[in-house]
Amino acid sequence: MSELADVRSYNLMVVNGCPVSGDYVLHEGDEVWFLNKGRVDRDELEKLLYVRHTPGVQKKIAGAVVGVMGLGGLGTVVAGALARVGVGTLVLADFDIVDPTNLNRQHYFVDQIGMTKVAATAANIQRMNPYLHLVLHQQRLDERTIPLLFKDVDVLVECFDDPVMKAVGFRLALTQMKNMGYVGASGMAGFADNNLIVTKQHGPRIYLVGDFVSEAKPGQGLMAPRVGIAAHHQANQVLRILLGEDE
């Protein structure tokens, strides 16, 4: 039997993950949350994530640890997307500082120029989701340090600009780091067709994203829209690995 719920005294009513307004008929088995739009605390944010993503999905995400190597155009977008969906722990690494050439595609702001990318990304993420756990590494990565710094992650995301380091990450995923998921990227420069950017599997829980041909060069730079498409491919593939969708 259904019942009538008067929600006029609440800021926000969410039924089965969808906000509703006015009088709404509830049915047996519906999941209902009454929320106050003006409140910002851990409990309220967790409720919002649970109702938006469903409790079963969110429980898996909240307990996950994801590593991001490189905090440029890919890494800052990937980290932001994962923070917004409520991944429990992010392990972030980069050696560089924010400079003016970064602002065309990387999620930084003018007043962050000169900050380390690790510190600036951490500050931005904490404004999106102040309750997740951040592990920060301000250092240059190499074949020796990557397996040590990211040994406890469930999924590792490669977001390097340097093709040499992209190859290093992929090689480690195939050899020394088989116990975790891996999502790399190759080819997203310019403004070619959106749909040329795809996600391809290259082994158990190992994926690469991109068009695999377009490189940054004079006359074909890295631009926010296409880099962002690739980054969100990466973030979504991380979720699919965490949720066991491709197993």
* 3-state percent helix, strand, coil for the chain, nearest multiple of 5: 40, 25, 40
| Topology classification of domain 59-242 | Rossmann fold (3.40.50)
- Domain extents in the chain: 3-39, 59-242
Are 180 and 80 in contact by the 8 Å Cβ rule? The answer is: no
CB 237 within 8 A of CB 199: yes
Instruction: Report the mean per-residue pLDDT for the chain.
Output: 90
Query: Per-residue pLDDT tens for 55-74?
Result: 678 888 999 999 999 999 99
- Answer yes or no: is pLDDT of 75 > 60: yes
CA distances from 33 to 26, 29, 88 (A): 12, 13, 22
Tell me the whole-structure pTM to 2 decimals: 0.87
In this predicted model, what pLDDT tens digit does every residue of 14-60 receive, in sequence order?
A: 777 677 777 778 888 887 777 766 666 776 677 677 666 776 788 88
